[in-house]
Every structure is written in C-alpha cells, then in structure tokens.
Structure 1
Amino acid sequence: MKNLISILCMGLSMLSMGLYGKNGVSGDLRWVGTRPPTDCPVSLGIPFLKGELEADGRVVLNDWDGADIPSDCWPLAYWPDGSVKWLGVAAVVPGEAEGVRFETAGKKHKAENRSGAKVRVDEAGSFFRVSTGKVEAYVPKRGSCLLDSLRCEGRTVGGQAALLCSTQDHPSAGGEAVLHFTDYRGQVERVTVERAGDVRALVRIEGRYANDATGRKWLPFTVRFYFYAGSEQIKMVHSFVFDGDMDRDFIRSLGIRFEVPMREEVYNRHVAFATADGGVWAEPVQPLNGRRILTLDGDKGWQGRQMRGERIPAYEKFDTKNRHLLDHWAVWNGFRLSQTTADAFSIRKRTHADRPWIGTFSGTRAPGYVFAGDVSGGLGVALKDFWQSYPTALQVDNAAARNAHLTVWMWSPDAEPMDLRHYDDVAHDLEASYEDVQEGMSTPYGVARTHTLTLVPSVAYGGKETVARTAAMLAEDAPLLCTPEYLHAKHAFGVWSLPDRSNPKRARVEDRLEDYLDYYVKAVDQHRWYGFWNYGDFMHTYDSVRHTWRYDVGGYAWDNTELASNMWLWYSFLRTGRADLWRMAVAMSRHTTECDVYHLGPFAGLGSRHNVSHWGCGAKEARISQAAWNRFYYYLTTDERSGDLMTEVRDAEQKLYDIDPMRLALPREKYPCTAPARLRVGPDWLAYVGNWMTEWERTGNTTYRDKIIAGMKSIAALPYGIFTGPGVLGFDPATGVLSYEGDPDLQRTEHLITIMGGFQVMNELMEMIDLPEWNRTWLTFAREYKEKARTITHNPFPVTRLTAYAAVKTGNRELAAEAWDELWHVWHNDKPFTVRRVEVPEVPAPVDENPVVCTNDAATWSLAAIYMQEVIPE
C-alpha cells in the first residue's frame, strides 16, 4: 500500500512539474512577485528536454478556468537534433486570470482569440505604423524622433519623442577652466521590425547622438519598442555605448523627451509623480486655490473635484467675478522630481523657464513614474530602477502650452557631470592593492548602459489612485516564468538542485545557502550599492576594521563577476523562485554585461577585472564578457538586448591575435609558442566555449560546434590533457585547435579553470556533445585535480565541484564524503554564520556584518553546494 501511495504521489508531482500532459508537455507558470492587478504583457522562455518539442512546435496558454490566452511562439535555442531547447512565448495575461498553464501543441494549433485584438505593423514610405487595438504608434525611419505620434483609442496623447544629451568639456569650472557646453539629439539611422506576431511586435531603432552645428555623431544607441495586442502599455529599452573622450566628454544630462498634447484649459491639466511607499504628489497646472473660492451656481466644491481629476467647466461658464480669479491665479509651467541619491528626491515647480524653482516636497525613494496630461488624455512613463540608478529625474515643461514636454532623465541635469576617468592618476599595483592597472587600459571607451521604460498612454487623467497603482505595478515588474520544479526537470542551465531539507545534513546546507543570500540582500541596501554605473554589482572584499567594504582599494572593490557571482544569484533564484533574488540577479546581469564589458573599440568583446573603477583594471578578459552570464536573463525572458550581447562575443577569441591574456604572467618570450595566439584552458577557453555553444544552439551554425570539438580533441591529445604545460597553451582562433610545444613533462594546475563559469558551461555542453575522449579527459581532470594542485603547484584553493563530479561519475562514495568534508571544513563553514550589529558612532549608520565574508567565498561555496545537493546529497 505504501508503494502504491508513493507511486501516486510521484505521478502527481510529475504532473505539477509538467512531465506529463494530455497532449504533450505541460506545466504551470507563476508570477515572481506580486501578480499584476490588470492585463499584463509578458514574454518568457520555456525549456524542453531533447526531442520533446519539434522545431515547428508551439505551446498554448490557458488560465486555470480553461480559457485560452492568445500567444506568439518562436524558438530561442535548439538541441543538436533540431528539436527546441528553449521556446519564446509572448502573451497578454488577463488581470482576472488566477493562474496560467501551458501545454505543447502542433504547429497549426492556435488559441482562440476571443477579444479579436491583434498587433499590426504597416509600413509606409517614411514610417512604420504599429497598432495594438488600443494604441497606435508612428515610428519614423529617419530623423531626430523615435516616435512621431502616439494615439490611444483614436485620440492623440503623445507627439514627438526624442533622445537628448548635453556635455561639458571639463568636470568643473574650477581654476582657469572655461566650460564649453554642447547639446546633442538622437539621430535615427536605421529602423527594423525585429519581430511581428499576432500578439507582440518589436521595432528596433539604431542611431547616434548628433550635434548639427559641429557635425559630431557619437554615443551609438539602440532603442526597442515592444507592442502587445490589446494592451496600452509600450515597453521601451534604451541602450547606449560610450565612445567619447573621458577627459573631455563629461555628460551633464541624458534623457528621453516626449511631447504631450494639451487640449483643455490649464486648470484641467494635471501632473503627477509617484513617491515613496505608494504615495503620489499630484497637482493641476493651475490649482483652483487662492484667497477666494471658485463658485458656479453656488457650488463651491470645484477644487476638490479638480484634485480628483474631474473635469472643471469651461471658462465661459463662470461669471465675471470667478473669471477674474481664473485670470489671476498662478499657472505652473514646469515640474521636476529629482532623485539625486538612493535616499533623497525632491519635487519642485516653476511658473516659467526663466523663473526660479520653488520647493514643494522631498522624500526618500521614488519609484520613477510620472503622468502629464489633461482630463481628455495624457501620457504616463515609468523608468525601471529609478532610485537605484540615480542620479535620475522626471520633468514636465511647457505644461501651459499647446504641447507639454515630459522628459525622463537617465542622468539628471541636477547632478554633477558624469566623470568616467579612472579614480586616480597613478597605479597602485598588484602587490599593494591587488590592482593591475596598465597604461592606456583604464578606459571607459566602449562600455554601455541599458535602461527600461514603460509608456502608458491614456484617454484621461485617472487620479492619484490610478497613478499609485500603475507605478507600483511597473516598479514591481513581476515576470511570469516557469516554476523552479519545471526548470529543474528540464535541466535548464545544466545541473542544479531544488531546496531540500529532508534530513538535518541537507537542511544545514540550505541554511548556509540562505545565510549568504540574506546577508547580501541586506548588504546591497545597507552599503548603498546603487548608482548609474554601479547598481547590480557587489563589492569584492570586506574591511572589518573600517566596518565597510573595500570600495576604495584596487581589486578589492567592485566584484565584476570575479568568481561567477552572477551565476550564484541566478542558480539561487532558479531553485527558490524568490522575488528578491530575481531583482538582484537581473540587476547584476544588466550591470556586469553592459558596464564591465567593452562593446566597441580595441577591447570589444572583452571585459575588465575587478577594480575601484569598473573598467580600471588592465586585465581585459573573455571570462568577464562571456555569453554564459547573459543566457539566464535571455532564455527566461527572451530579452533581445541580452541576445545582442551574446552575439557580440561569439567571435571574441579573435581578440587573442592582439591581446594575450597571459602577456605579463607568462610572457611569450619565456615560453616559446608558434601558434598565432595563446590562452589558458580556463577561464579563457571555457569562456569561448560558452560563447560558441550559445551561438550554435541559437542559430544552428555548426561552425561554432566544430570549434568546440576541435578544442576538445586537441586538449585530449595533449600529454597530460588539461594539466599539460606551464598554464598557457598555443591556440589558433581560426580553427579552435589548442597546442603545446614546450617540455612534454611539464604540468600545472590552475584553480581558476572551472570557478569562473566554466564548470556550469561544461555541465550543460556535455548534454549536447558526447565525445568519449573529452569525457575521459574531463573526468581525469576532476579526479586528479586536488592531488596535483597540492603536489605540483602547492595550491590549497579547494575546487570542490571537481571532486563532486568525479564522485558521481565514478560512484565513489569516499570521494563524495571527501567533497562534503572539504566544503564544510576547508572553507571554514563548519563555524556558525555569525552576524553582528555595529552601531553608531562607530559607523555612519548601523550595519550588520560578518567580518570574514567575501564575495568570492560566498559565490564559490554556494555554487558548489547547489551542485552537490543534486548529485551527491549527504
């Protein structure tokens, strides 16, 4: 009887994970965070095992009541046999849907579209017209506007939209410096319809910021507009690359300006800003407030109606006395909310551009939503991670004119100018500060930044409650994703474990994993790891004497993905589904793959090692730019910007002709090599392998598969496999072949080989490529690494994942026990995770600290534990 119950329970569990379905694979989807209260556009990825979904297959979505939810589907990645590995899905989930499920179906099956709404893209000579059934957008193919107009339910609520930038040529006017200012406006050079389905259309705009007077064009940008059938929301993703002179191009402001037509009397026009904790600051352009009370036919309640967003009668309806009041009450033409730090915003307003701002309100953390319009239509705009990415601002100008200007400042004009120079004018070297600064390499030329906005056109001002609800929903930005159980069952991103507290030993592991995560969730806020160029990154090492992280000490400052900290967050999210981890993982992906990586220039395709300045270190390496960091966000959400970044690095190995990663540590003149380039097996070659694997699975281009296989075979043929040589091998970027010409008896171990993402990449790759000689080489490396590290290089750094891999592949229980002993004792995690409170005045504000925690240890230990909980559970 017990066995029967177990079988029944297992079957129910498999159903919940999507292993069985009446017509194929099925599963539940879940909101990560608070379920949106209204219809919500979503895009997500769904993984499948090899052979489960044919190349032309699709899924259908239903709510829990069985009602169809129309969707678009497209392949994101393929297995080597041509079946779908990841499928992209786009839909608009009804606000009343309690839950959403998916099920595989044939190519011809489409969900019933009960609303009849479809997104439509029409091309005219000079523009594209996109209609969702609720909004229409006109996108010019050339010129200085991203949008020419925006209509909501047949009414024009938005005019031209443009990108703005201003610079100055010195950081300040101190000394004898005379500042020169230059204004730029985004110039559209290319517009393409990147994808157009029944439910979602995606328009991509490319261009550069330009100044007509000087003829200069710089800051290449990409803007994507996402439109969804039946939805008024338009998602906008703006990315730019800095290609200026860090000594002369100091950005004063960077923003996106939208025109908002104003049709009504000034007292029927409204501006609203969302404020902290669900608050709203909202005022009419002309408040009905003064010494006297406005009346009409004895009714004195017009100010209250005005503040609720109700229409106030036309000017002509009032008598001479009340018209006099309307003629003389102040009209406010400009409004600005400035978020100057992570903890402070201010709201000000003014009557004219040449009149002073007056203060109205100040607060802590604004969610980044503004509305401008009148009682017959307007535009709301949200900037994601508004306070986290300070200095930002939201501004409304010309509110009393025919066309108001709503500007979202990604870099606020209220802030100091953006200064991208290295933090010091001298190098502090590896020995003193763990800092590898090299001449001419501490440059921001080629780094990037991405912002996400949401446009919300409307046919009326909805009042404070609507503003608060919309702001909260867009700030939450809760995605719809597959469940952790489904992702785990489909081996999404390789081998990892679900949380398991089934016995005290397993519970102990889970406790420590949570200790680390909760500590960093709190550290982000307590130590204010925020800002335009910083948000998303962690610090590297803690200073227990100063009670702060070593933000100002060379290579101990910003982490820049050092030991796969972003993978730590992503696998932690995959297994738990925690919304706070989702936000941290997304922020880290956005930061580390944009700001820590070069997207053009001499270092394009490479990233910078950890430093006080994100781009300050002279070590420019592929392991920092590798596609492996972007795969999570791309495949889980279909984010096209992440796809761009993975495409950028598919041929990053070509940089090895110019930049040898071991040029200083193992110079070529000391270690002769006739190959055209050199690299380490890890982290270099394994980073390139991840790039090639991703390009192969996304496009089916077998050239990249062949490069992987060529490398595997050539490494396997070396005298000691991965251990061969002094730590660097010859490499041919054209063929992918590795070689060695030195002493055939020379061996070396390197702990960095697998702890910078390479181990996880190989776990996933070996499901795609089964090469016996490589499988033997990899297992030999895992089985012998620990002993050779001790005897050959005398390196005590534990790479516990390798011991665990060898244990599971050989079935050796002693190795498994050794791996767990090493994880707990060599890493000193056998001691309690102790957090102590440090109070003022010892610190500027109270902080919680564990003096021995560092990000390298937290990420490495956690990734090992997550893997071992799956393959060799205690």
Structure 2
Amino acid sequence: MTTSPFSRRGFLQTTAAASLASSLPATQAATANLPTTTAPVGDTTLRWLDGTAPARFEGATLGVPWPRGQIKSTAKALDFKLGNHPVQSWPLAYWPDGSLKWTAHAIAGGTPAGALKLEAGKPAAGGLSVKQTAAQIVVSAGDLVWTVPTRGEALIAEATRAGRVTLKNLKLVALRQDGAEPELDGQVARQAFTSKVTAVTVEQTGPVRAVLKLDGMHSGNNRDWLPFSVRLYFYAGAESVRIVHSFVWDGNPAKDFIAGLGVTAQVPMTNATHDRHIRFSGEGVGVWGEAVRPVTGLRRDPGQAYRDAQVAGAALPPLSGMDKRVSDRLALIPEWNDFSLSQANADGFTITKRTQAGQAWIASNGGARTNGLVYAGGASGGVALGLKDFWQRAPVRLDVRGAATPLADVTAWLYSPSAPAMDMRSYRSPGDMDTHEKQIEGLNITYEDYEPGWDTSVGVARTSELQLWVLGATPSHQVFSDMAGQVATPARPVLTPQRLHACGVFGDWDPVDTGTPARKLIEDRLSLQLDQYLREVEQHRWYGFWNYGDVMHTYDADRHMWRYDIGGYAWDNSELSTDLWLWTSYLRTGRADIFRLAEAMTRHTGEVDVYHLGEFKGFGTRHGVQHWSDSSKQPRISNAAYRRFYFYLTADERCGDLIRELLESDADIGKVDISRKLAPGAGPRSTELPGVGFGTTWGSWIAAWLTEWERTGDKRWRDKLVNGMQTIGDLRRRWFAGGAPYDAKTGKFAGPGADVSISHLNGVFGVAEMSSELLTLLDVPAYRRAWLEYCRFYNAPKDEVAALLGKDPGGRSLTDTCSRLTAYAAFHEKDRALALRAWREFFSSRALRGGGQLRRVGGVETIRPLVEQASISTNDSAQWGLAGIQNLALVGDSLDEAAKAAGLVQ
C-alpha cells in the first residue's frame, strides 16, 4: 500500500537543498551536500528468473546493487558467500562517496542447494585456475583442461576431459559470395575465411570464473575483414564454456555477400562407428538421436540389450554376445557420415543425413522450432555445441561432418550457408531522390530521411551467444534435452524487484502495486501493453539474424500489418526509448518474458542500430525500413542509457564495451550535421562550435559518462557531467533554450542562451530518467533549478508559460507522456496541486478510457489470425508506459484522488 505523497523515496531521492558557495568550483562541489548513507538492506536472497531451479546450471553472473554508504571497499576481489556454493565477487560501480553501488557475482555451475542467500563471508572454493605463457593460456576446472593459443587460427587449440583430447581447433568460419543469388542462369563464387586471432586478453582468472577476450579478423584469399571479438567464459563446476561472439560488418555491400558465418570445432571419434552418436534438439523438450552405424531396425535382431544401449548412447555390450547374423554383417550396414539440421525460418526446421560427400542427402525428420543444440561423439566422449536464440535468428544451421572418420567437424552456423546470401545493400535506389528538395518531399510522404551514401550498412555489428560442452560420454536424451534448455533459456539468478528498489538505482520506479482501484487500473493497462508487444513479436515474425530484438514503429490497421515498408515508420531502432520502457518494466515486475525481450533488444539495438567503425562511428540510425537505411544518424539511438540496465544487472562485458565505445562520440558531433534537413535558422547554431540539443543529443551522451565515472571513479567524466549541467543552468533560458553551442573538450555549453526553443522530443530519449539519477549523485544547484523549472512549466497553461518566457512559443506536445515531468517537479517541490495536475495530464490519453482495445482478426483478411490493437504505436506505448511508471513512483499517493475526480474509479 502507499504512504504520504512526499515520503515515497524520501531521503534517497531528494538532493541537498543548500546551495554551495559560488567561489567553489563546480567539480569540487559536485557531491559535497549529497547524502552519504541510506537505509541498509539486510537479506539478499536470489531467486531464479523463471521461478524454479533449473535442471541444469552451467554457471552465471549477476549484478547486485547496494544502498549508498552500506559497503565501503576498494578491494578488487570481495568476500561474499552463497551458502556452500562457490561464488566469485568483484566491484562493478561506486557511489559518489566511494561506497559500492553495484557488485558482480559469478556463481559456479551445479545448482546450489538450499536458499540462494548472498551474504558477507568467505566463499567456498571454486577450483578453477588459469596459467599463462607467451604462446598459450590454459584454463583448468576439475577434469577439464582448455588450451587457448595467443595467436593463430584457433580460439581453442584443444580441450581434454580426464586426460582424453575431446575437442580440437575451435575456430570461426565465414563464407563470402561475390554476388547476390543468381537469377536463372547467373553464377556466383564463394570463398572461405577463418579466424585469425591477433590479441588475447585475460580479463578474469578465477577461482570461479575466468574470462578470455580474443580479438582478430576473418582471414583468407589475401584479405582480412569482418573484425571480431570473442569472449570465452569458463565456470568452475561447469562442463561447458560460454562463447560470446561479436563481429563488425566492414565489407562492400555491392560486392561482399556473407554466405555463411559460423563457429566450428573438431571432435576426435575414437569409438567404433556403432558406438558413435549424433544428437539434435527437437521441438520443445524433444531429442533426435541416432548412431553413425545403426543396429536398430535391421532385418535381423541384434538383441534387446544392443538396441537399448545404442538408443541410450551407451557403448554396445561385447559383440561376442550379439547374434552372429548381425555381428558378421556389421560392415555392410551404412555408416552415416554427415548430418545437418537446417532452420530456414522461425517456423520450420529439417534434419537430413548422408553417407559421404557426393552422395544424396536423405530426409530424416523436421519440425517447427528447436532450441539449437547438436552433439557428436561416442561412448568415450564428445562435443555439444548450441546457439542461443536459434530459431529466432534463422536462417541458421547445425552440422556434423565426418562422423564416420577419425575427426568429425561440428559447426553452429550463425548464418546458414543454405540460405540466400546476406544482402547488406540499401533497399532503395537513389535515383528518385537525388536532390535536397526531393528528399524533403520524401520525408513528408514516407517519413524517411534519405540521402545518398547515408544509408550504408558498413560499421554495424552483431553479437551471438553459444555454449560449448566437452563431455565424457554421449548424454542421455534427458540430459541432452536439459542442456538444450540451458542453451535456449540460460538459468539466471536474479533479485526481486523489492531488493532492487531498496537501493535507489535507475531513477524513479517502484514495484508493482495493485492495492487500490486506481493503481490496478494503471497496472492492468501497463501489463496489457507489454503483453501485446510480446504477442506482436510472434504474430508478425519479428525474427531473423539482423532483426531479432527490435520491434516496429507504427501499425497500419488497413493492412493489419506494421508499416514495415513505409520509410520512417518501419523498424523502431529505440525510438522514444522503447528499451527504457521494457527494462523499467522488468525492474518493477520481475517477469522473465519481459527480461528476455529486453535482453534481445539490448543485444540488437546496441549492435545493429549503431555504427562501430567508419564515418558514423558512435552514432545510431533513426527508425527505417532497414536498420541502417535512414540517413538521420544520431546519438539518441546509440544512447548508453539503453544499455546500462543489462550491464549492471548481468555484468555483461560486451555491453560494457558498447558503453565505453561512446565516451568520446561527442567529439564527432560536428562531422554529422543532425539538423541539416531543417529549415535555415532552426535549432542552435554557431560558426565556431556545433549546436547541440540538450535532450536528444547531450542527454544521450551523459549515460556513458556517468557509467564510466561509476565504474572507474575517473573524475574526468564526473567533471564533464558537471560542466554540462552547470552551463545549462547558467543560460538565460536554461532548459527552455533547447540547446546551445557545445565544446566537446570541456563538456560546456556556450552563448547567452537567450532564445527559446522547445521540442517535444527533448525529454523522451532518456534525459528525464538520467536527470533524475544525476540529481541524486551530483549537487549542481543551477541545473537542479533549471530542470525543475522545465518540469514544472513544460505542460503548464499557456498564460503561465508566457509569464515565464514572455510568450508561449508553442512546440509543446506529448502532454500525457510528459506528465512525468510535472510529477517530478511536484514531488521535489512538495506541491500536491501540481501532483494532481500531473495526473490530469496523464489521464488526457485515451489509454485508460477505452483506447487501444484488443480485437481478433482472422479469415482471409490476414496472413494468420491476429489479436490486434488497431491504434498501437511504439512511440505512444513506450512513453505512456514510462510516464505511468514514473508517476506512480513520484506522486502515486495522489492517484486515487485524481482518478476519482476524473471519473475513472468510484
């Protein structure tokens, strides 16, 4: 239940009221008057994301927040225990007073017994070790030993299990095609490339988790291209290594077509072929399992014991006991050498096999969707390789080649060679929009910002996750099914929403509370909208290598389709902070399905929608038909605020890399004129310094700087934040100036800031959320006054705005979603009347008055039956959701009064 309207976040949320002496430099005063402690948390019991303990656990890492002032430590390794289960802990981020804000905890494989209670104390021993020489790195865990060369083709040279070499030469492969798929009698040629590792960094050495980062290029045919970064994660108590594979597309879209992209390893096959086995995950928990040389289904029966052993994947009993009519003819039973599972799309996979190259492929079986795991080996051991988000990323493929030979190859194709080659060209020809005037007219009809050369795909990236097991025997069907489940939905220990909320992280939100009719009304609507987007991903098949993780921008109710082919209305690319909406929704609900949708979005938007090399490095691409096709390149899409959640909740190193990539991107703002399509005179301009908008641009940089300051304590990034905040506050019109000339060297804004420029976009790309965080961390009175002024007056009546600014300049819209600005001012200024105004603004949306109702559409009207919300818009959904969440947290105690006055509840 709720409490008084201005005590909800109390001491934690309110910054110091006293102003600092003007003689103190802002960088020294930045944290002087902020709270140094908050109420400590006691119990830190973890739970499983999916609610129950997993059948199989290969280890995982999570981030844990702590209230300001509770834990003071400068140690690189921290002492936490998890009962008798091994755990490894280290600092992840710090509060301004130097106390720990986030800690990271690696949990060993093997499901912990009892409650997952994390507490101070000496952890149980992990037993994982790392030994390094100039030539190689050796990681040992139990009877598993992994050898990683520091240079060359192999990512892992070999892995042994109980002394037996079970895996050799794990490497990356890529296929280049010199043209698109041939039309009728056309021809194309393919070339093969393999990984060339140029650097290996040992990022962690155990005793529970070791992390190796391998950087390099795909090499072959006198060419190096497709730069990659691969991390190998080893956990004590696990039989596997987790592989996080990232690459950057740097080819020529007109000439280079990726025909295959994969991870492959060799498996020594030492058992007799009747004791060698192949496994593929099937539908659901199903398993496809067969021997290289089958002894079941023969004309002559070898005996029950032999059939049972082979189906189980065990070694056959001595052949001397087998019916001689079979044992004498074993050599005449075909040996199946090659196996393939191909998932061509999200709706279907097929399994085929053949006896050898040059012979026909035989269809075995198939299904709809599989978890994406393959095994090859025998009674003495083998290798299983799985690809996360397998069917969601289709076209994909799993291969075994040479199963009847001494050395088999197992390959997980991240992009399948069976599919048409990957086409990275622009979807449109520049011929019909070859002048600036035509481009403006095109923007006015299809909402697409187009300009030749600005729709390039060069520099986008993609990250994939794999799991590689080295096993001492062929797994049973049940064990293999459990492994496949771990690949598809890795077991993840997490915190409850209440435990996260107690630490005051990530701004203004609170756990779900349906304790009053008005709260239930809003919570139900928030859930309905989240459920609809989960449904839309499936209904409209938002899957595929480059697409999975994104959602669409706007719906076309006439076609019962999202506007996938209409300019700027197609892929969303984080427009209006969809990522923030999903992550904040997860924080307060703890829902596993929302976590996984947000995780997929983070993996997508941070990689595919952002440039990682080339002239647009550090910038993201506005919403469009292709993720890179719109010519508007902006920091609001590469915004680190969208990545911070996943980084802190999981301590994911790749996500941390992406945030660090953006630290210096403000220095390049002059290279990309964001406002080049605007009318002359629109927006802040300067002949010396580039004009930068406070919300859409500066507000998109600050999350990277804040995160780096929190991670490292480097005051350079704190000072850059303070400089921007202070100089915004010093402008004559403060936030209502909209933007000003900006100096990337200092982070300061320049000029008098006397003109008023209001844009409805200024507050919807994370700056509202980030300002809320910054003002609990940095005491910059001038910025606090400026932000509170903006929050109070953005939605204010025209006469009040005119009294403040001399006139009502217009440009104010999104009244309902910007109600959270009003709520912020109401909370911090303890103004109940303003809180009620915030709710009236929020209620102006149709969302709570019958808008957005669901209906079923089917028959010949649609490609498949749909549950449709005809008025759905991702802009509206994300911003309305964020406003509802923040309003509940800030002014929730005035909700019932406001809802009754509006006639929403009795």
Q: Same fold (TM over 0.5)?
A: yes
- Whether 2:61 is the aligned partner of 1:43: answer yes
Equivalent residue number for residue 76 of structure 1: 92
How far apart in 2 are the matches of 1:735 and 1:585? 34
Q: 2:654 maps to which residue?
A: 641
Corresponding letter in the other structure for 1:45: G
Q: Quote how far apart the aligned CAs of 1:287 are.
A: 0.6
**C-alpha spacing 1:437/1:190, structure 2 compared with 1 (3 Å):** same
Q: CA deviation at 1:290?
A: 5.7
| SS in structure 2 of the partner of residue 160 of structure 1 | strand
Deviation of the 1:69 alpha carbon: 2.4
Query: In 2, distance between residues paired with 1:282 and 1:839?
Result: 39
Deviations 1:301-358 (A, max 9, x none): 4223211112114667768643442111111000000110001000000111111211
- Aligned residue number for residue 9 of structure 1: none
Cα deviation code 1:339-396 (max 9, x no counterpart):
1000100000011111121111110001001111001101111110000011111100
C-alpha contact 1:61 1:100 (8 A) present in aligned 2: no
Change (3 A) 1:751 1:395: same
2:863 alignment counterpart = 844
SS in 2 for 1:494: coil
Closer, same or farther in 2 for the Cα pair 1:820/1:93, shift >3 Å?
farther
Residue 496 in 1 paired to residue 501 in 2? no
Q: 1:496-532 CA distances to partner (integer Å, 9 max, x unpaired)? A: 1111111111111101101101111111111111110
Q: Which residue does the alignment assign to 2:239? A: 232
Aligned to 1:87: 103
**How far is 1:723 from its partner?**
1.1
Aligned to 2:379: 375
2:8 corresponds to: none
Q: Is 1:737 the counterpart of 2:741 in the alignment? A: no
Aligned residue runs from structure 1 range 246-285, under 5 A: 246-285=253-292
- Residue of structure 2 in register with 1:524 after alignment: 537
Number of matched pairs: 837
Q: How far did residue 802 of structure 1 move?
A: 0.8
> Corresponding residue for 1:111?
123
CA distance in 1, matches of 2:789, 2:512: 30
Are 2:794 and 2:812, in contact at CA under 8 Å, matched by a contact in 1?
no
Pair 1:794–1:453, CA change in 2 (3 A): closer
Give the superposed CA RMSD. Answer: 2.1
Instruction: Give the direction of change, closer, same or farther, for the CA distance of 1:318–1:77 in structure 2 (3 Å limit).
Output: same
Contact preservation (8 Å) 1:134, 1:230:
no
Task: Output the TM-score relative to the length of structure 2.
Answer: 0.89
Aligned mate of 1:769, from 764, 775, 778:
778
* Identity between Structure 1 and Structure 2 (%): 39
> Could you tell me which of 433, 454, 458 is aligned with 1:441?
454
Q: Which residue of 2 aligns with 1:796?
A: 813
Rate the CA distance shift 1:476–1:671 in 2: closer, same or farther, 3 A: closer
Tell me which of 432, 443, 465 is aligned to 1:430.
Answer: 443
> Could you say which residue in structure 2 is the equivalent of 1:26?
43
Classify 1:147/1:316 alpha carbon distance in 2 versus 1 (closer, same or farther; 3 Å). farther
Aligned counterparts of 2:483 and 2:115: Cα–Cα separation in 1 = 21
What is the CA-CA distance between 1:20 and the residue it aligns to?
8.1
Letter of the 2:172 counterpart: L
Does 1:456 find its partner at 2:469? yes
Q: 2:148 aligns with which of 139, 160, 163?
A: 139
Give the C-alpha shift of residue 554 in structure 1: 0.8
Q: Tell me the distance in 2 between the aligned counterparts of 1:765 and 1:501.
A: 29
Tell me the amino acid that sits aligned with residue 788 of structure 2: L
CA offset at residue 96 of structure 1? 5.2
- Structure 2: which amino acid aligns with 1:736? G
Assess if the C-alpha contact under 8 Å between 1:38 and 1:96 holds in 2: no
1:713 deviates by 1.5
What is the distance in 2 between the residues matched to 1:602 and 1:316? Answer: 71
For the structure 1 residues 433 and 44, does the alpha-carbon distance in structure 2 shift closer, same or farther, using more than 3 Å as the test? Answer: same
- Considering Cα pairs closer than 8 Å and 6+ residues apart, tell me whether 1 or 2 has the greater RCO: 2
1:678 corresponds to 2:691 = yes
Aligned residue for 1:834? 853
Give the CA deviation at 1:741: 5.9
Q: Distance in 2 between matches of 1:160 and 1:409?
A: 16
Alignment partners' CA distance in 2, 1:60 and 1:738: 44
Q: 2:420 matched to 1:416?
A: yes
Structure-to-structure mapping, 1:523-562, within 5 angstroms: 523-562=536-575
The Cα offsets for residues 395-433 of structure 1, whole Å up to 9 and x where unpaired, read as 000000111100000001111100011222145721111
CA distance 1:208–1:60, change in 2 (3 Å): same
Q: Distance in 2 between matches of 1:317 and 1:304?
A: 14
1:186 and 2:188 matched: no
Structure 2: where are the runs of 5+ without partners?
A: 4-37, 434-438, 803-807, 896-906
Matching of residue 475 in structure 1 with residue 488 in structure 2: yes
CA distance in 1 between partners of 2:109 and 2:239 (Å):
13
How far apart in 1 are the matches of 2:513 and 2:616? 44
2:542 maps to a residue whose letter is: W
How far 1:626 sits from its partner (Å)?
1.5
Q: Give the aligned partner of residue 128 of structure 1.
A: 137
Alignment-mate amino acid for residue 122 of structure 2: K
**Partner residue of 1:714 out of 712, 724, 727:** 727
Maintained 8 Å contact 2:497/2:590: yes
Amino acid at match of 2:99: S
Alignment partners' CA distance in 2, 1:856 and 1:466: 44
Q: Aligned to 1:484, which of 497, 511, 530?
A: 497
Q: Name the amino acid aligned to 1:503.
A: T
Aligned with 1:571: secondary structure?
A: helix
Distance 1:775 1:20, change over 3 A: closer
Distance, in Å, in 2 between the alignment partners of 1:503 and 1:669 is 47
Aligned letter for 2:308?
A: G
Equivalent runs, 1:195-206 vs 2, <5 Å: 195-206=204-215
Contact map agreement 2:580 2:766 (CA 8 A) in 1: yes
Asked if 1:209 corresponds to 2:218, the answer is yes
Q: Deviations over 1:260-284 (max 9, x none)?
A: 1111000000001011111111100
Provide, for residues 776-800 of structure 1, a one-character-per-residue CA deviation record: whole Å limited to 9, x for no partner. Answer: 1111111111246893124332211
The equivalent residue for 1:54 is 72
Corresponding residue number in structure 1 for 2:25: none
Task: Return the offset for 1:582.
Answer: 0.8
- Using the TM superposition, name which of 681-690 and 177-186 deviates more: 177-186
> Match of 1:11?
none
Q: How does 1:282-431 map to 2 (within 5 A)?
A: 282-289=289-296, 291-295=298-302, 299=303, 301-313=305-317, 321-426=325-430, 427=433, 429-431=442-444
Q: Shift in Å at residue 542 of structure 1?
A: 0.6
Q: Check if 1:605 corresponds to 2:618.
A: yes
* Post-superposition CA distance 1:779-825 (Å, at most 9, x none): 11111112468931243322111111111122222221121122122
| Structure-2 residue corresponding to 1:162 | 171
Taking structure 1 as reference, are residues 407 and 670 closer, same or farther at Cα in structure 2, changes over 3 Å only?
closer
